[in-house]
Amino acid sequence: MVGGNWKCNGNLAFAKSFPAEVLNTLKFDPKKVDVVVAPTALHLSTVQANTKNNVHVATQNLSLTGDGAYTGEFSVGMIRDMGVTHTLTGHSERRTLYHETDKDVAIKTKLAVDSGMTVLACIGELLEERESGKTKDVNNRQLNAIREQCDDWSNIVIAYEPVWAIGTGKVATPQVAQETHAEIREWLAANVSKEAAATVRILYGGSVSDANAAELIAMEDIDGFLVGGASLKPAFH
């Protein structure tokens, strides 16, 4: 799977031109790779209307609550009604800037999975956590929270995104990323099932670009990418 996370970027003209100029020209076999793009919610229907080529459209977030008196929110039911099949949950910007807890992320993941969506659940450690040797603990804590809510992991994709690598140009080396992905796979085997460990896709995210993607994807436990900045450029190819 390759996902593009547009974050809070783009305007209406971009939501029309990027599908036409980039997404619709991608050459890939949809039986072998899922391509997913997550524009802002405001631009979802424009991107949907202009995207062909088996590219899935995703939300970057969803509401913890359903329909009702929740000003500023959008519910999972509304997302499904729009024909959207994929969503991110737990991106580090949601966790750090908007104070989403591990439990919030887990409940959102469960709401989306229960609605039949495929979820790219984001996890990852801060720089000081990596430097103090806590990477595995932090990832496991975030994964355990999701495990408490979700039994069925068949539509969960894990996006491992070390926070120090997001938007910084400091990509994890293939060895560092592989080591952490292997730990995540071990966690899946021990806490979900052997089948989940074999089938759940673990994406790497954090300063992925056309310059480093090839050496990262060569690693055994890296099953794709979640791309931020480079997903807004023709280099998303």
Identify whether 161 is a catalytic site residue.
Answer: yes
Catalytic site includes residue 43: no
Instruction: State the number of binding residues for ligand PGA (CB under 6 A).
Output: 13
What's the N-to-C CA distance of the chain in angstroms?
A: 13
> Which residue in the list 43, 56, 91, 181 is annotated as catalytic?
91
- Report the residue closest to ligand PGA, judged by CB: 228
Euclidean distance between CA atoms 164 and 223, whole angstroms:
21
Tokens of 99: 């104070």
> Does residue 125 belong to the site contacting ligand PGA (CB under 6 A)?
no
The nearest distance, CB 199 to ligand PGA, in angstroms, is 23
Binding test (CB under 6 A) with ligand PGA, winner from 124, 192, 226, 236: 226
Compute the least distance from the CB of residue 171 to ligand PGA, in Å. Answer: 8
Does residue 205 belong to the site contacting ligand PGA (CB under 6 A)?
yes
Could you give the residue ranges of the DSSP H alpha helices within the chain? 12-21, 44-50, 76-81, 92-97, 102-114, 127-131, 135-149, 174-191, 194-199, 213-217
- Cβ proximity of 1 and 224 under 8 Å: yes
Active-site residue, selected from the candidate residues 93, 100, 129, 161: 161
212 scored as a contact of ligand PGA (CB under 6 A): no
- Can residue 206 be called a binding residue for ligand PGA (CB under 6 A)? yes
The per-residue b/e assignment along 39-70, b for 16 or more CB within 10 angstroms, e otherwise, is bbbebbebbbebbeeebbbbbbbbbbeeeeee
CB of 214 to ligand PGA, least distance (A): 16
d(CA 67, CA 153): 26
Q: How far is the CB of 114 from ligand PGA (least distance, A)?
A: 24
Q: Does 229 bind ligand PGA (CB under 6 A)?
A: yes
228 forms part of the interface with ligand PGA (CB under 6 A) = yes
Q: Which is nearer to ligand PGA, 63 or 231 (CB)?
A: 231
Binding mask 139-178 for ligand PGA (x = CB under 6 A): ----------------------x----xx-----------
Told to check if 5 binds ligand PGA by CB under 6 A, we report yes
Tokens 């292997």 belong to 182
Which two tokens mark 69? 């008196």
Residues 6+ apart with CB under 8 A from 50: 15, 16, 19, 20, 24
Residues serving a catalytic function are: 91, 161
Binding residues (CB under 6 A) for ligand PGA: these are 5, 161, 166-167, 205-208, 226-230
